[in-house]
Structure 1
Amino acid sequence: MTSLDLDPSEILERYNVKMEKAMTPDDAAAELYPKDDLIRPIAESIYEGEEDDTVEGLKKAIKAGKDPIALIDDALMVGMGVVTKLYDEGIIFLPNVMMSADAMLDGIDFCKSQAKEPPVSKGKIVCHVAEGDVHDIGKSIVSALLRANGFDVVDLGRDVPVDEVIEAVKKEKPMMVTGTALMTTTMYAFKAVNDRLLEAGIKVPFQCGGGAVNQDFVSTYELGVYGEEAADAPKMAEAILAGADLGKLKEQFHQH
Structure 2
Amino acid sequence: MDIDPSKILVRYNVAKEKAQSPEELAAEMFPTAEPARSICAAIFDGEEDDVIEGLEKAIEGGADPIALIDDVLMVGMKITTDLYDQGVIFLPNVMMSADAMLEGIEFCKEQGGSSPKPKGKVVCHVAEGDVHDIGKTIVAALLRAAGYEVVDLGRDVPVDEVIAAVKKESPMMLTGTALMTTTMYAFKEVNDRLLESGIKIPFQCGGGAVNQDFVTQYELGVYGEEAADAPKMADAIVAGKGLAQLKETFHKH
State the match for 1:227 in structure 2.
Answer: 224
State the match for 2:43 in structure 1.
Answer: 46
Letter in 2 for 1:170: K
Match among 157, 165, 177 for residue 168 of structure 1: 165
Letter in 1 for 2:227: A
Rounded Cα–Cα distance in structure 1 between residues aligned with 2:76 and 2:14: 30
- 8 Å CA contact 1:227–1:233 kept in 2: the answer is yes
Alignment of structure 1 residues 166-245 onto 2, 5 Å = 166-245=163-242
1:120 aligns with 2:117: yes
State the match for 2:100 in structure 1.
Answer: 103
Q: What's the % identity of the aligned pairs?
A: 72
Rounded Cα–Cα distance in structure 2 between residues aligned with 1:26 and 1:170: 44
State the match for 2:77 in structure 1.
Answer: 80
Q: Deviations over 1:111-142 (max 9, x none)?
A: 22223543223332101122233333332232
Rounded Cα–Cα distance in structure 1 between residues aligned with 2:180 and 2:14: 42
| Structure 2 gap segments, 5+ residues each | 1-12
The count of residues paired between Structure 1 and Structure 2 equals 241
Change (3 A) 1:183 1:84: farther
- 8 Å CA contact 1:124–1:151 kept in 2: the answer is yes
- 8 Å CA contact 1:98–1:137 kept in 2: the answer is no
Displacement of 1:46 in angstroms is 1.2
State the match for 1:31 in structure 2.
Answer: 28
| TM score, norm. by length of structure 1 | 0.81
Q: Secondary structure at the match of 1:127?
A: strand
Q: Secondary structure at the match of 1:183?
A: coil
Rounded Cα–Cα distance in structure 2 between residues aligned with 1:180 and 1:71: 33
Match among 52, 59, 62 for residue 62 of structure 1: 59
Rounded Cα–Cα distance in structure 2 between residues aligned with 1:134 and 1:32: 38
Change (3 A) 1:150 1:159: same
Q: Deviations over 1:26-50 (max 9, x none)?
A: 3343333332222111111112212
| Structure 1 gap segments, 5+ residues each | 1-13
Change (3 A) 1:53 1:235: same
Change (3 A) 1:238 1:95: closer
Letter in 1 for 2:220: L
Change (3 A) 1:72 1:24: same
Q: Deviations over 1:3-24 (max 9, x none)?
A: xxxxxxxxxxx967x953xx54
- 8 Å CA contact 1:127–1:153 kept in 2: the answer is yes
Letter in 1 for 2:61: A
- 8 Å CA contact 2:95–2:141 kept in 1: the answer is no
Rounded Cα–Cα distance in structure 1 between residues aligned with 2:84 and 2:180: 21
| TM score, norm. by length of structure 2 | 0.81
State the match for 1:10 in structure 2.
Answer: none
- 8 Å CA contact 1:101–1:141 kept in 2: the answer is no
Rounded Cα–Cα distance in structure 2 between residues aligned with 1:146 and 1:87: 15
Q: Deviations over 1:91-125 (max 9, x none)?
A: 43333322221111111112222235432233321
Displacement of 1:56 in angstroms is 1.3
Alignment of structure 1 residues 126-165 onto 2, 5 Å = 126-165=123-162
Change (3 A) 1:249 1:132: same
Q: Deviations over 1:185-211 (max 9, x none)?
A: 332221121122222332221112233
